[in-house]
């Protein structure tokens, strides 16, 4: 079957799905997957939709994508320029979802060499407690089992191996209220946060080698809030930090690092809002080695956290491979190109044994 993947991506982008409001897009993909009929068996839990073949194959490949987007950035209306689709979610990751839906169509009449599970889930762009894949692993782990998981996060056609861990902490600075004309009677909580901001602004994040891949870490203030009234010395300032760390050390060590960093800058309280482990690159795993080797895919480390870490934590090797430039994710310039959508679908179908092998990459 030939697919207009750009048009399908545009349809998906036309349904807003900022985290927390994924019901409409879940309805859309559920209806479409149910329409495929046998051999796809479709389950839905909340705004999470899972479609599985049950062909009795020895091994099962899980292909995953999240339904939600970050908030719009003046780019909520998708628009095409030739064979490029611009707008919120085009790259992260409705282009990947379009590939999954096309794959579902093509699986129906085919004889793939693996059983295949498609997982489309909500709540990936927000705190881990909202993550739909987390819910599936907790409530229906059989639905998401497999021998290899591929997340269709935007990777620009590369294999992005493993992923960095991500930690959010909220540092709180206390103060003492006073009339702002007599600040010496109080203590300014926002002023007390200045050293933490300064240390974050000048933080020299490391680049860490794991399996010869260079994971570039980061530390960013992503939120700050303080102040009660314009005439009052504020008694509270909260700062949310996001730490991204390489899969070179355990989660506990990375959490301890960032908590200490905040404490050293004078924070009175440091609350860990969420902490997600990193995933190792796993380049020597047979299925990952095969997909890289047979199709001669370029490999680089995944800097953003993705649910490959969740699969890894459940003992399922996983990598990222999807259409769209990851550096454009969460920016106003987010976009995806038709040629990358087509290439991603072709490669996955070849790997699953239901399509022509794609041409080898130019060297």
Helices (H), 236-362: 251-264, 286-294, 308-313, 338-352
Known catalytic residue: 174? Answer: no
Q: Which of 14, 36, 45, 197 binds a second copy (CB under 8 A)?
A: 197
Which candidate in 22, 92, 115, 124 is catalytic?
124
Pattern 125-164, a second copy, x by CB under 8 A: xxx------------------------------------x
What three-state secondary structure class fits 306?
Answer: coil
> Mask of contacts with a second copy, 327-356, x by CB under 8 A?
x-xxxx------------------------
Q: Kindly identify the residues of this chain, within the stretch 17-56, that bind a second copy according to CB under 8 A.
A: none
Angle between helices 95-107 and 5-13 in degrees, nearest 10: 120
Among 32, 52, 192, 340, which residue interacts with a second copy (rule: CB under 8 A)?
A: 192
Find the catalytic residue in 22, 68, 115, 334: 68
68 annotated active-site:
yes
**List 1, 109, 138, 181, residue binding a second copy (CB under 8 A):** 181
Among 31, 220, 253, 289, binds a second copy (CB under 8 A): 220
Residue 168 gets the label, from left (phi > 0), alpha (psi -120 to 50) or beta, of beta
232 scored as a contact of a second copy (CB under 8 A)? yes
Q: Does 229 bind a second copy (CB under 8 A)?
A: yes
User: Tokens 């933080």 sit at which residue?
Assistant: 203
279 and 166 Cβ atoms separated by less than 8 Å: no
CB nearer to a second copy: pick between 261 and 351: 261
| Residue 222 makes contact with a second copy by CB under 8 A | yes
Tell whether residue 60 is a contact of a second copy (CB under 8 A). no
User: Distance between CA atoms of 131 and 102, rounded to whole angstroms?
Assistant: 24
| Whether the Cβ atoms of residue 99 and residue 352 lie closer than 8 Å to each other | no
* 172 contacts a second copy (rule: CB under 8 A): no
Query: Taking the CA of residue 138 as centre, how many other CA atoms within 13 Å lie in the half-sphere pointing to its CB?
Result: 10
Q: Which of 57, 191, 285, 300 binds a second copy (CB under 8 A)?
A: 191
Quick one: DSSP state of residue 326? G
* Cα 291 from Cα 288, distance rounded (Å): 5
Cis preceding linkage at 39, omega within 30: yes
Return the DSSP state at 136. H
Q: How far apart are CA 222 and CA 199, in angstroms?
A: 14
Contacts with a second copy, 80-109, as mask; x by CB under 8 A = ------------------------------
Q: Could you tell me the smallest distance in angstroms from the CB atom of residue 307 to a second copy?
A: 14
DSSP-based three-state secondary structure for 200: helix
Alpha-carbon distance 147 to 60, whole Å? 5
Q: Which residues bind a second copy (CB under 8 A)?
A: 70-71, 73, 125-127, 164, 166, 168, 176-183, 185-186, 188, 190-195, 197-198, 200-201, 218, 220-234, 237, 240, 242, 244, 273, 303-305, 326-327, 329-332
Q: Which residues are catalytic?
A: 68, 124
């Amino acid at each position: 079957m030939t697919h207009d993947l750009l048009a399908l991506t545009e349809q998906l982008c036309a349904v807003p799905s900022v985290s927390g409001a994924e019901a409409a897009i879940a309805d859309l993909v559920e209806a479409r997957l149910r329409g495929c009929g046998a051999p796809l068996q479709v389950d839905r839990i909340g705004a999470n939709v899972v479609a599985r073949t049950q062909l009795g194959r020895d091994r099962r490949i899980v292909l995953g994508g999240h339904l939600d987007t970050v908030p719009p950035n003046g780019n909520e209306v998708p628009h095409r320029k030739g064979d490029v689709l611009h707008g919120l979610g085009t790259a992260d990751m409705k282009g990947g979802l379009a590939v999954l839906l096309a794959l579902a169509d093509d699986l129906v009449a085919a004889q793939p060499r693996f059983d295949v599970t498609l997982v489309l889930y909500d709540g990936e762009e927000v705190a881990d407690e909202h993550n739909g894949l987390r819910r599936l692993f907790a409530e229906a782990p059989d639905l998401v089992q497999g021998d290899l998981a591929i997340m269709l996060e935007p990777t620009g056609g590369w294999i992005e191996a493993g992923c960095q861990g991500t930690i959010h902490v909220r540092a709180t600075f206390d103060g003492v209220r006073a009339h702002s004309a007599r600040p010496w009677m109080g203590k300014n909580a926002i002023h007390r946060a200045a050293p933490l901001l300064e240390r974050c602004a000048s933080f020299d994040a490391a680049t860490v080698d794991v399996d010869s891949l260079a994971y570039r870490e980061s530390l960013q203030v992503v939120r700050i809030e303080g102040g009660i009234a314009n005439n009052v010395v504020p008694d509270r300032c909260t700062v949310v930090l996001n730490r991204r760390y390489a899969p070179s050390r355990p989660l506990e060590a990375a959490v301890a690092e960032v908590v200490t960093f905040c404490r050293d800058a004078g924070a009175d309280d440091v609350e860990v809002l969420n902490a997600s482990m990193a995933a190792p690159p796993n380049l020597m795993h047979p299925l990952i080695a095969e997909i890289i080797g047979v199709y001669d895919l370029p490999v680089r480390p995944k800097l953003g956290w993705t649910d490959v870490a969740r699969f890894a934590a459940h003992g399922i090797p996983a990598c990222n491979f999807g259409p769209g430039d990851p550096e454009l994710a969460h920016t106003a310039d987010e976009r995806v190109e038709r040629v990358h959508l087509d290439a991603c679908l072709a490669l996955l179908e070849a790997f699953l044994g239901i399509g022509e092998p794609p041409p080898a990459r130019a060297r």
